[in-house]
Amino acid sequence: MILDRFRLDNRVAVITGGGGGLGTLAALTFAGAGADIVLLGRNEVNLEATANEVRALGRTALPITVDVTDGAALAAAAERIEAELGGIDILFNNAGITSTKTLRDIPPEEWQALLDVNVTGSYLAIRAVTPALIRRGGGRIINMGSILSARGMANRVAYSTTKAAVANMAAALAFELGPHGITVNTLAPTVIVTDLNREAVRTQPELYEAIVKRTPLGRLGEPDDLSGALLLLASDAGRYMTGQTLFVDGGYTAG
């Protein structure tokens, strides 16, 4: 049956930035489809909270405290995952930070921090898990992108730059990793309202009302709006998709 292609039974999904927000959403989505979950992040308490939600679904959850800018630590985490769970099948590069400063206001060190986490962190995570994916005979890599990889917005120069970079990273790696049975895609949502940005949405109504006005479906995104796309990119249902940017944006980029 076609729905069986969306199942992730006996697969291991690794999620960076797994301690909240969209990381938790992805963990519960993948676990609900049958996967065991590895959560990578810097906040041990938040990772354990998400892990407990996964365990409540009857799946294994392994939280590992790690900084995605530390390549050696990521490589060690990949080795531990293989040893404890038998392999890696899916990587969701979700860890990221943002900035709302203009070109003139953002200091070089903040610009560099966004590049380090959003771009280099994604590269290091992919580099760490790729040998395990190859040993499994293939797998799925999903980079977290944004509508801002394809559309401009004031005061988002650093963030937009990093999201365009991870989308093109996926496109390039599709050619390099495709022969190994590994797909590499980018999920590019509009604003998804979570606990991490709810206050910003409340305190900057004009900005977010403008986004809603430009969005054909007339609202901001909710976490569950991404579940289907995540499963598509992570499962056999999307096995012939690679190098693509999948916009889940209520139609924002259609205009």
Tens-place pLDDT, residues 184-200 = 999 999 999 987 788 88
Q: Give pLDDT, residue 249.
A: 97
User: Active site includes 252?
Assistant: no
- The answer to whether 254 and 216 are in contact (CB under 8 A) is yes
Structural tokens at position 197:
């940005």
Domain ranges of the chain: 2-193+223-248
For 153-164, what is each residue's pLDDT tens digit?
A: 888 899 999 999
Q: What is the pLDDT of residue 145?
A: 97
Residue 100, pLDDT score: 85
> Mind listing the pLDDT tens digit for each residue in 5-21?
999 999 999 999 999 89
Q: Which of 159, 208, 240, 252 is catalytic?
A: 159
Per-residue pLDDT reduced to its tens digit, 200-214: 888 888 889 999 999
Element (H, E) at 50: helix 44-56
Q: Which of 98, 97, 72, 94 is nearest to 141 (CA)?
A: 94
Residue 207 has a pLDDT of 86
pTM, 2 dp: 0.96
Cβ neighbourhood burial of 9 (10 Å; 0-12, 13-18, 19+): exposed
Give the pLDDT of residue 146: 96
**The pLDDT of residue 215:** 96
Task: Give pLDDT, residue 155.
Answer: 83
Give pLDDT, residue 154.
Answer: 84
The pLDDT, as a whole number, for residue 152 is 85
What is the percent of the chain with per-residue pLDDT over 70, rounded to a whole number?
100
Q: Which two tokens stand for residue 4?
A: 């069986």
Spell out a b/e string for 46-68, using b for 16 or more CB atoms within 10 Å of the CB, else e: bbeebbeebeeeebebbbbbbbb
Among residues 33, 54, 40, which one has the least CA distance to residue 227? 33
Q: Are 75 and 81 in contact (CB under 8 A)?
A: no
30-88 pLDDT, tens digit each: 999 999 999 999 999 999 999 999 999 999 999 999 999 999 999 999 999 999 999 99
Question: 6, 231 in Cβ contact below 8 A?
Answer: yes
Instruction: Give the per-residue pLDDT at 132.
Output: 98
Report the CATH number of the 2-193+223-248 domain: 3.40.50.720
> According to the model, what pLDDT value does residue 56 have?
98
Q: Which helix (H) or strand (E) holds 113?
A: helix 108-114
Q: Would you say residue 97 has pLDDT above 80? A: yes
Q: pLDDT exceeding 90 applies to what percent of the chain?
A: 87
Residue-level pLDDT at 199: 87
Question: How far is residue 173 from each of residues 13, 90, 94, 210, measured CA to CA in Å?
Answer: 19, 15, 17, 35
What pLDDT is recorded for position 255?
80
The DSSP code sequence of 181-228 is TEEEEEEEES-B--TTTHHHHHH-HHHHHHHHHHSTT-S-B-GGGGHH
- Model confidence band, residue 1 (pLDDT cutoffs 50, 70, 90): confident
Length of the chain counted residue by residue: 255
* pLDDT at residue 195, as a whole number: 79
User: pLDDT of 101-141, one tens digit each?
Assistant: 889 999 999 999 999 999 999 999 999 999 999 999 999 99
